[in-house]
């Protein structure tokens, strides 16, 4: 997999112009969603006008990350004469960079694209690392490919448009990066007040967090080994996300991941002797900042069923990424149905459900 250019900047339009000046292309497209177009596109308005980019807008929200939306993108590319030499800029959160990356990777067997994440979650997670895809048949990211963006441009100047919930959603992925990397990074993150809106401090933490992911992806681009570390919290988190979506009570991805991290640290403690004090510290941080997902024993079957569909599973076993300690990763761990039920019991106690 080609190495991505990852640029941190306080002037997105200037950085965009500089990067695309290095690329040979015939037509330029900007993909965004309705919310992002209204709130963020003004920051690169002059760039769009000067470059004569064709803007493609799709509905906002994760429910729009589907076959209908990607078909619309393909149709606009096709009917406006896009070629293999065309270039697409994905301006938006994780939904846009996931869907736009897949659209670009598959159109005419692949055109260049640049990700410009406008959410903290998109910046720290979806935009970096080459994973693209859409939801299908009620399952998250069921259809997709590995394909890195030519470049990712990250700036906190977009984050003024985010509410606290969406900031926290992205911050959950940063906490995960701290847990899989080092005590130093984890302690910085667990002690930072994300609601402070200190963008200078946040950009510094964000650069460290993105570099954790970049180093992992460069070593294992196709998730054959170490990259599975980035799945901490996601096996259970995606199950929470799917359950809430089915109940018409959708939650932000990062909230589901935060709850999933606590669950998988419980398994880590029971399976790998992960330190109880760090488990309790993380659980308390999550409870205070993210609240709790409310479910009862009758929901265990449903959550377990969702986990059986996880893409990381192997030979019929649910596959977890667990930790022996901060930065000490135990890949390809399994747990029995009874152990998973106990995990949910302890989680509910810790979250005071």
Question: Angle of helix 234-246 relative to helix 300-308, nearest 10 degrees?
Answer: 120
Distance CA 58, CA 32 (A): 7
Which residues, in sequence order, are bridge partners of residue 143?
A: 134
Whole-number pLDDT of residue 203: 86
The per-residue pLDDT string of the chain (353 residues; one tens digit each, 9 = 90 and over) reads: 566 789 998 888 899 999 999 999 999 999 999 999 988 887 888 888 888 999 999 999 888 999 999 999 999 999 999 999 999 999 999 899 999 999 999 999 999 999 999 999 989 987 788 899 999 988 778 899 999 999 999 988 888 888 999 999 999 999 999 999 999 999 999 999 988 888 888 888 999 999 999 888 888 888 788 888 999 999 999 999 999 989 999 899 999 999 999 999 999 999 999 999 999 999 999 999 999 999 999 999 999 999 998 777 766 689 999 999 999 999 999 999 999 999 999 999 999 87
Distance CA 258, CA 278 (A): 14
From residue 49, alpha-carbon distances to 37, 42, 43, 108, 233 in Å are 14, 11, 12, 26, 42
Q: Which of 103, 100, 109, 113 is nearest to 148 (CA)?
A: 113
Whole-number pLDDT of residue 125: 82
Q: Mind giving me the DSSP string for 260-281?
A: HHHHHHHHHHHHH---HHHHHH
Whole-number pLDDT of residue 315: 61
Whole-number pLDDT of residue 237: 96
Q: Which domains does the chain have, with CATH numbers?
A: 5-161 (3.40.50.1970), 164-350 (1.20.1090.10)
């Amino acid at each position: 997999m080609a190495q991505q250019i990852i640029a941190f900047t306080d002037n997105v339009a200037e950085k965009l112009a500089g990067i695309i000046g290095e690329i040979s292309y015939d037509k330029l497209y900007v993909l965004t969603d309705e919310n992002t177009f209204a709130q963020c596109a003004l920051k690169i308005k002059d760039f769009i006008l000067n470059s004569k980019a064709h803007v493609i807008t799709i509905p906002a929200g994760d429910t729009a990350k589907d076959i209908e939306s990607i078909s619309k993108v393909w149709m606009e590319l096709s009917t406006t004469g896009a070629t293999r030499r065309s270039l697409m800029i994905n301006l938006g959160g994780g939904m846009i960079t996931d869907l736009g990356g897949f659209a670009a990777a598959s159109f005419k067997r692949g055109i260049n694209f640049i990700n410009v994440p406008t959410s903290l979650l998109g910046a720290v997670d979806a935009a970096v690392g080459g994973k693209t895809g859409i939801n299908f048949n009620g399952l998250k990211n069921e259809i997709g490919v590995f394909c890195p963006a030519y470049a990712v441009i990250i700036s906190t100047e977009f984050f003024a448009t985010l509410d606290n919930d969406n900031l926290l959603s992205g911050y959950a992925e940063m906490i995960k990066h701290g847990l899989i990397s080092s005590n130093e990074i984890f302690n910085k993150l667990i002690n930072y007040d994300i609601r402070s809106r200190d963008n200078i401090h946040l950009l510094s933490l964000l650069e460290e967090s993105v570099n954790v992911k970049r180093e992992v992806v460069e070593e294992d681009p196709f998730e054959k080994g170490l990259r599975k570390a980035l799945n901490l919290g996601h096996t259970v988190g995606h199950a929470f996300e799917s359950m809430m979506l089915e109940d018409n009570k959708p939650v932000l991805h990062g909230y589901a991941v935060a709850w999933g991290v606590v669950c998988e640290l419980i398994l880590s403690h029971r399976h790998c002797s992960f330190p109880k004090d760090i488990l309790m510290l993380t659980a308390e941080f999550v409870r205070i900042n993210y609240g709790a997902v409310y479910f009862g024993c009758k929901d265990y079957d449903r959550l377990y069923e969702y986990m059986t569909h996880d893409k990381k599973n192997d030979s019929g076993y649910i596959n977890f990424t667990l930790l022996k300690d901060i930065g000490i990763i135990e890949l390809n761990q399994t747990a029995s149905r009874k152990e998973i039920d106990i995990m949910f019991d302890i989680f509910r106690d810790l979250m005071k459900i």
